[in-house]
Amino acid sequence: IKLFRISSDLIPFGSHPVNTITWWHDYQDHFERLGDKIKKAGIRVSMHPGQYTVLNSKNPEVVDKAVLELQYHARLLDTLGVDQSHKLILHIGGVYGNKAEAASNFIGAYRNLPEEVKRRLIIENDDRSFTIEDVLQISEVCGAPVVFDNLHHHINPPMEQCTDYEWILRCRQTWTSMDGKQKIHYSQQKEQALPGSHSDTIFIDSFLEYYQQIVELAPDIMLEVKDKNLSAVKCNHVLQAEATGKQLEVEWARYKYYVLSKDARAYQSIRELLKDKDAPVAKEFHRIVENSLLLPENPGAQVNAAQHVWGYFSKDSTLSEKKRYETLMEDYTQGKISINLVKNHLLKCATARQQDYLIHSLYFYL
């Protein structure tokens, strides 16, 4: 994974006056070590200040707090020692009944920002107020690079009709060599949810269809998705000359008991698929996993998977562990409790025995 978003909560109350700790000084050694890891791994990091960071607010106090928040984020990246290509992403803000005035207010506030903030700040279209066309017009005046967000664009398109490729190409012109590679945001709409809600996972067929439309532009693609790194690894698998069965064994070790808990046939299908260690099977592998994600809970499959996991320590379990397991399983089969209570007990048993193979299994976390 070469793109990583750092939480704004890394330093509690980072921009609040209550925080009088000089964290950038007191923890400088820690930040330098983190920065070295980032640079050695070739990772590009970014931060996305929260929804209350509004530069174009009509309330001067809100603007002042937004500036402090941006300064905190910029200082954090500076303390890591990473260059200008590591960015802060921000929406323009509200319209407040007059979009032209709101855009002008943003530009005015942007121009007054400290240089250490401006060199990192990039601006993004949103799903309600400012379209990609609006943001490009603002960029022409203030000079901030533009991030294209495909889902926001789908929900809130401009009057001018262009393909995503064309909009991304236009955004590309706002990026300088100092800003690094052009960056876009890609996400998928969650079904039966409010517009703009990110899907639980990135479905590879839709992703690949979109990717083929923009591949020659070669932007950095930040995925916005609930399962975060899992989708990033998945997309890398299907793009990098398609991973082979041998390369997918590590991923299968993480997914296997989760898939078994959803559908034994899917579990068996993947086992058969991975027998050919040299075949490029990443797409089919992840399609089967994705289909498993969509299945409703099957109590029989859940019991089967739990029994497999319990088998790792059933022989050396304590009497209380065994009794607890049997009680939980009985209660689950009778519909009295959720499967998560069973999983919690199994994870506790695995942790007590330092069973890393199980501890790292996605069975416990999805």
Q: Is the same domain home to 219 and 254?
A: no
| Angstrom distance (rounded) from CA 270 to CA 116 | 50
Given this model, what pLDDT does residue 73 score?
A: 97
Per-residue model confidence as pLDDT tens digits over 68-90: 999 999 999 999 999 999 999 99
Q: Is the same domain home to 201 and 167?
A: yes
Q: Is the same domain home to 281 and 305?
A: no
Q: Is the same domain home to 272 and 233?
A: no
| Angstrom distance (rounded) from CA 349 to CA 270 | 27
Q: Of 201, 221, 239, which residue is a domain's last? A: 239
Q: What is the mean pLDDT of residues 62-73?
A: 97
Given this model, what pLDDT does residue 246 score?
A: 84
Q: Is the same domain home to 254 and 123?
A: no
Q: Is the same domain home to 129 and 251?
A: no
Q: What is the mean pLDDT of residues 129-134?
A: 98
Q: Is the same domain home to 114 and 255?
A: no
| Angstrom distance (rounded) from CA 280 to CA 244 | 4
Tokens of 120: 């990192």
Instruction: Name the band, by pLDDT with cuts 50, 70 and 90, for residue 14.
Output: confident
Residue 85 DSSP SS3: coil
Q: Is the same domain home to 276 and 350?
A: no
The parent domain of residue 103 ranges over 3-239
Strand ordering across the sheet containing 183-186:
3-5, 44-47, 87-91, 121-124, 146-149, 183-186, 220-223
Q: Of 239, 257, 279, which residue is a domain's last? A: 239
- Return the CATH number at 136: 3.20.20.150
Provide the whole-model pTM. 0.92
Q: Is the same domain home to 216 and 249?
A: no
Q: What is the mean pLDDT of residues 294-321?
A: 96
Count of structural domains, the chain = 3
Q: Is the same domain home to 31 and 84?
A: yes
How many percent of the chain have pLDDT more than 70? 100
Q: Is the same domain home to 162 and 279?
A: no
Give the least confident one: 37-41, 143-147, 241-245, 273-277: 241-245
Q: Is the same domain home to 22 and 129?
A: yes
pLDDT at 241 exceeding the cut of 90? no
The gap between the terminal CA atoms of the chain, to the nearest Å, is 20
Given this model, what pLDDT does residue 247 score?
A: 85
| Angstrom distance (rounded) from CA 221 to CA 66 | 26
Better-scored residue on pLDDT, 241 or 259: 259
Per-residue model confidence as pLDDT tens digits over 321-360: 999 999 999 999 999 999 999 999 999 999 999 999 999 9
CB 132 within 8 A of CB 148: yes
